[in-house]
Amino acid sequence: MNELLIKKITEQVIAELKETHVAAEGQAKATSNQQQPVFASSVPNIPVGVSARHLHVCQEHLEILFGKGHKLTKLKDLPQPGEYAAKESVTLIGQRLRAIEGVKILGDLRPVTQVEVSRTDARYLGIKPEIRRSGDTAGSPGITIVGPAGSLQLTEGVIVANRHIHMNPNDAQRLGVSNNDEVDVRILSTKPTILGKVQIRVSNNANLYMHIDVDDANAVAFDDNTFVEILNMEESKCCWQG
């Protein structure tokens, strides 16, 4: 229990520390000759946020965890229209019988329950989820979820969410990309970094916004002044081919 408490406090401190800085750009180079997807023109200043561990639930599972007829209570709105962090939270228990408490539920309800964790979380819990697009849970690991009214054994549904950028059709046209394209991006932070295989998610009312998980956020020294730009084809070739 002391180990879990120390880990939780450490994660919270890392997530909350913010430092002001002057955004810097850098060009990373590697030696890969892999085939590249189609990339947009460089357009800077796409906002980016950290998607910490959370879950989406269906009504059936919500009632198991919180009681018959329970409805989610909105705590705060999230960047995408209609999405919000709920007041409700649960405990996750993995194969090693280790627990992560206080995992937030995000609304609104989904048809299928999905748990999103980082690789670091997964290692601690003793599970091996794959990097998946949201909703792609078939064949993924399961987990035990504990709420105040009951618990359930999820047979599948745990993923490490892929990097992705939300945008509406006008944004997509302006940036020269289409739904489900994969692009390379440059993170503009105090530790500029190139990230690959970033999925484009286009929906009618979406706000332009990129999501990365806590592991990526720590790797790029994320803070409130962090932004992202999509690399064009020539910049991507330079990054990966040297």
d(CA 57, CA 146): 13
d(CA 67, CA 182): 41
Strand segments (E) across the chain: 43-50, 54-56, 74-77, 84-93, 99-107, 114-116, 131-132, 143-146, 151-154, 158-161, 164-167, 182-188, 193-202, 209-212, 227-230
SS3 219: helix
pLDDT of residue 23: 31
d(CA 185, CA 67): 43
First to last CA, the chain: 48
d(CA 102, CA 220): 25
What is the third-level CATH fold of 19-50+163-241? Answer: Barwin-like endoglucanases (2.40.40)
Polymer length of the chain: 242
**Tens-binned pLDDT, residue by residue, of the chain (242 aa):** 445 544 554 455 444 443 423 233 333 333 333 333 344 444 558 999 999 999 999 999 999 999 999 999 999 999 999 999 999 999 999 999 999 999 999 999 999 999 999 999 999 999 999 999 999 999 999 999 999 999 999 999 999 999 999 999 999 999 999 999 999 999 999 999 999 999 999 999 999 999 999 999 999 999 999 999 999 855 655 565 65
pLDDT of residue 238: 57
Task: Parse the chain into domains and list their residue ranges.
Answer: 19-50+163-241, 54-161
What is the longest distance spanned by two Cα atoms in the chain?
A: 59
d(CA 82, CA 213): 21
Compute CA distances 236 → 145, 197, 199, whole Å: 41, 11, 15
pLDDT of residue 38: 40
pLDDT of residue 144: 98
Closest CA to 65 of 90, 102, 29: 90
d(CA 16, CA 2): 21
